A and B are shown apart, each in its own frame.
Chain A
Amino acid sequence: MSKVMVVTSGKGGVGKTTSAAALGAALAQAGQNVVVVDFDVGLRNLDLIMGAERRVVFDLVNVVQGDAKLPQALIRDRRVDKLHLLPASQTRDKDALTEPGVGKVIDELREQFDWIICDSPAGIEKGATLAMRFADVAVVVTNPEVSSVRDSDRIIGLLDAKTARAERGETMEKHLLLTRYDAARAARGEMMKVEDVLEILAIPLLGIVAESPDVLTASNVGCPITLHNPASVVARAYDEAARRLLGETIVVTTPSERRSLMSRLFGRRAALA
């Protein structure tokens, strides 16, 4: 049974695309057939994060409008062959994506893939509402910071009201993915506590991903972090999150401030060039 999963947040810059790529790669490595779909209209990001930017010929809008067939637009990842990408369009036409059109593409994708991950753009406009429209599962990416939490709450409200599932009276499985968590700042009381975020958003916690320079490195080289640096704290958090999505019960641990011997001796690592 295929699952459509939307990765959304409301607020921009919290780690949706990074998370969609990381979770997609982790699920594919676990043996699932995965496609990650970029729902941004006009700004393409997922292809860059996945390192496929030079191979994009056709995109979601091309498929919706009939300029191309789905197999022509899908790009297979060179590192993990169960991982595919359906890129976003660079068009400026906001009405290029239609609900019935997208619905048809999703139905076609369901025939081929176990997981269809919809990378939502920021905001609550058309791209974001279409990304969630046909979802069975939602991952709400949130930073432990007030405006991100407020926006995530708004998005959760939309997930409960404006999706096909909600309109049919079915519940949508919602998960909270807390990203860019900074243990040191949390310890100093500068960052919202995990418990406070959970109390406000009231959805189950999928995982906590620490703030890390490894994320930037991975996107610089165009490789999902779970593939690029699987031993890193971030990759392991995403990997565990993917396994939780597959039904495994793994206790969520809050990242603690971990400093290596070297950085303790020489102070914090300098910003990397």
Chain B
Amino acid sequence: MGKDWQVHAVPSIVANETPAPQTIVIRGRSVLALVIAPQWPLDTWLAALDAQTERSANLFEQRPVVVNLGAAPQGERGPAAALEALVALSARGIKVIGVEGIDPLLMGQTRWSRLPVIPPGRETIREEAPREEGAGMAPVASAPAAPVASLLIERPVRSGQSIVFDQGDIIVIGAVSSGAEVVAGGSIHVYGPLRGRAIAGLTVGAAARIFCRKLEAEMVAVDGRYRTAEHWGPDLHGRAVQVRRDKDVLRISVLD
């Protein structure tokens, strides 16, 4: 008995006369932006901001910033005051990429209308390819994964380096230098001196904590609340601490 031969008909591809339409791929991307909220009287607030940047020169360097204009005076003076704040911030080289806390209509009539007004609430940005006829691309959606992973770094994090790991905790065995930053979806553990910036809780929110052997940081932040060195004073400086968010404040407590 002979073998059965299965014949698969291979469809021939007929060349199109007209080229397929160009597909535009739009992706979402999450970046870490700092949100700052000017207070009025503006001069006082700007003076405090200048003092802050003098102490931590890299605080806003190359960092996209969203300005919360919620504190701008209401009424007629409102838009003018808000614009004054934006002008002052731009003049200081701060890279404003958007605003929040203000009526989009008010912004639309000014030269700042190009700035997106970010709606309130946390945004999760997904990556998606558009469904096009015959494009042959399956939509790719990445939802934020539950944080179980941890990133282990076994050498110092040097000035200018930025470690971002939004899927979980970051553990550093070594120092985090002044001018360096560590950004985690979960908690941050530094088995060494923390001299740069630690930003925790991008994904897990207020459950995140920051631990370090020696607090000499430029800034610590958990779920959006931040503190800089001037806030915690000489008593905590140089100590082994844990940083956690307690309702609306950041608590720093000594470990040993």
* 219-267 of chain A: CB within 8 A of chain B: none
Query: Given contacts A160-B155, A202-B156, is CB(A150)–CB(B178) below 8 Å?
Result: yes
Contact among B155, B174, B177 with A153 in the assembled complex (CB-CB below 8 Å): B177
The answer for the CA separation of A160 and B159 in the assembled complex, in Å, is 12
CB distance from A251 to the nearest CB of B (A): 25
Q: Are B155 and A200 interface neighbours, CB within 8 A?
A: no
Contacts of B160 in A (CB 8 A): 153-154, 157-158
Q: Bin chain A's interface residue count.
A: 10 to 19
CB distance from B108 to the nearest CB of A (A): 41
Contacts of B159 in A (CB 8 A): 150-151, 153-154, 157
Chain A's interface: helix, strand, loop or mixed, by majority?
A: helix
Q: Are B178 and A202 interface neighbours, CB within 8 A?
A: no
The answer for the CA separation of A156 and B157 in the assembled complex, in Å, is 10
Q: Are A202 and B179 interface neighbours, CB within 8 A?
A: no
Q: Quick check: is B175 within 8 A (CB to CB) of the other chain?
A: yes
The answer for the CA separation of A65 and B175 in the assembled complex, in Å, is 43
Q: Are B161 and A202 interface neighbours, CB within 8 A?
A: no
Q: Are B174 and A157 interface neighbours, CB within 8 A?
A: no
CB distance from A271 to the nearest CB of B (A): 34
Chain B's interface: helix, strand, loop or mixed, by majority?
A: loop
Q: Are B175 and A200 interface neighbours, CB within 8 A?
A: yes
The answer for the CA separation of A153 and B180 in the assembled complex, in Å, is 10
Q: Are B155 and A154 interface neighbours, CB within 8 A?
A: no
Contacts of A154 in B (CB 8 A): 158-160, 179
The answer for the CA separation of A153 and B156 in the assembled complex, in Å, is 10
Contact among B158, B175, B177, B195 with A160 in the assembled complex (CB-CB below 8 Å): B158
CB distance from A190 to the nearest CB of B (A): 20
CB distance from A59 to the nearest CB of B (A): 30
Contacts of B177 in A (CB 8 A): 150, 153, 157, 200
Which of B156, B174, B178, B179 has the most chain A CB atoms inside 10 A of its CB?
B156
* 152-175 of chain A: CB within 8 A of chain B: 153-154, 156-158, 160-161
A89-108 vs B, Cβ < 8 Å mask (1 yes, 0 no): 00000000000000000000
Query: Given contacts A157-B161, A202-B174, is CB(A150)–CB(B156) below 8 Å?
Result: no
Q: Are A156 and B175 interface neighbours, CB within 8 A?
A: no
Residue on B with the closest CB to A153? B159
Residue on A with the closest CB to B160? A154
Contacts of B155 in A (CB 8 A): 160
Contacts of A161 in B (CB 8 A): 161
The answer for the CA separation of A158 and B157 in the assembled complex, in Å, is 11
The answer for the CA separation of A151 and B158 in the assembled complex, in Å, is 10
The answer for the CA separation of A102 and B158 in the assembled complex, in Å, is 27
Contacts of A200 in B (CB 8 A): 175, 177, 195
CB distance from B113 to the nearest CB of A (A): 36
CB distance from B229 to the nearest CB of A (A): 15
CB distance from B134 to the nearest CB of A (A): 41
The answer for the CA separation of A82 and B67 in the assembled complex, in Å, is 62
The answer for the CA separation of A156 and B160 in the assembled complex, in Å, is 10
The answer for the CA separation of A202 and B158 in the assembled complex, in Å, is 10
Query: Given contacts A157-B158, A157-B160, A160-B158, is CB(A150)–CB(B179) below 8 Å?
Result: yes
9 A-B pairs with the lowest CB-CB distances in the bound complex, closest first = A157-B158, A153-B159, A154-B159, A154-B160, A153-B177, A157-B161, A153-B158, A156-B158, A150-B159
Q: Using A158-B160, A200-B177 as known contacts, list a sample of 6 further A-B pairs with CB atoms less than 8 Å apart, ordered by residue number in A.
A: A151-B159, A153-B177, A153-B179, A157-B157, A157-B180, A160-B158
14 contacts between A and B (CB under 8 A): A150-B159, A150-B179, A151-B159, A153-B160, A154-B159, A154-B179, A157-B159, A157-B161, A157-B180, A160-B158, A161-B161, A200-B175, A200-B177, A202-B156
